[in-house]
């Protein structure tokens, strides 16, 4: 995975960065309390289910509640705003990776409910349609 004089290729650098990000996440499904609240975030590989969740009806409320407190224009807390469809669509691949790998929401924030997480991941896996 090196190129030239022992310098890592861009691909190997990305693989190493991804591996470092994923080491803090377990495997399996989100576990919940008897009240349905999540107790831990577990990595999962989402798939697109037809019909895809609706951005306006299903996804936007999740983003407004769980993401927009940090992900807004001009925020010093997050690199990307997630306050409009175009904001989210421009980073949906990264968002899919971070949510499925349990990197978002961050540990300092409440976990998504199992239902919200599944809805968001399914929508992202479907290509983040504007529906």
User: pLDDT for 75-93, tens place per residue?
Assistant: 999 999 999 999 999 999 9
Whole-number pLDDT of residue 39:
58
Q: What is the mean pLDDT of the chain?
A: 78
Contacts (Cβ under 8 Å, ≥6 apart) of 41:
25, 30, 102, 111, 112, 117
The pLDDT tens digits of the residues spanning 1-58 come to 444 444 444 443 333 333 333 333 333 344 555 555 455 777 778 899 889 999 999 9
Gap between the Cα atoms of 53 and 49, Å rounded: 8
Over residues 102-120, the mean pLDDT reads 93
Contacts (Cβ under 8 Å, ≥6 apart) of 64:
83
Residue-range domain boundaries for the chain: 27-125
């Amino acid at each position: 995975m090196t190129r030239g004089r022992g310098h890592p290729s861009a691909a190997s650098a990305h693989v190493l960065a991804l591996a470092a990000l994923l080491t803090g996440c377990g495997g399996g499904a989100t576990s919940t309390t008897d009240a349905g609240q999540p107790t831990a975030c577990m990595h999962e590989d989402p798939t697109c289910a037809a019909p895809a969740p609706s951005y306006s009806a299903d996804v936007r409320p999740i983003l407004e509640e769980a993401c927009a407190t940090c992900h807004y224009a001009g925020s010093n807390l997050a690199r990307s705003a997630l306050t409009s469809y175009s904001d989210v669509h421009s980073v949906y691949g990264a968002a899919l990776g971070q949510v499925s790998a349990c990197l978002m929401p961050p540990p300092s924030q409440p976990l998504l409910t199992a239902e919200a997480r599944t809805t968001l991941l399914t929508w992202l896996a479907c290509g983040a349609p504007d529906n």
